[in-house]
Amino acid sequence: MLYKFKSKVTGDLIMLQPNGRRMLEIIGKIDDTSNGCDADKGIILPEQMPAALVALAAAVAQEAADRTAALADALAHHLPAPRFEAISLRQRALPFIEMLQRCEKAGHAIVWGV
């Protein structure tokens, strides 16, 4: 399954299900215990976008801090460096963050699944 985020301000943003679902979990549009049916379609209103941007920034910062801590821990215990996903949350979230910023500035909603 794909998530196709649409707005009148930007081009469509298409994400694979795991990545799109993670973005929606971070911004609080779906909870991580649901089976996905609540994520099939939805809307992000302009007034919800500042909170979504803050949540995404916090998640990106947390992932970076976790990676740094894991590397430091491995170094301190003389263990091999841990392996991380090749593409970080920062890289995956950047197009979505830019879409949110542009839509917030223009005052237009983002929808998916419609």
> What strands, in cross-sheet order, belong to the sheet with 42-44?
13-16, 2-6, 110-112, 42-44
Interval 16-30 mean pLDDT: 94
**107 contacts: CB under 8 Å, gap ≥ 6:** 46
Chain segment 69-114, per-residue pLDDT in tens: 999 999 899 989 888 888 999 999 999 999 999 999 999 999 998 7
Q: What are phi and psi of 79, to 5 degrees?
A: -105, 160
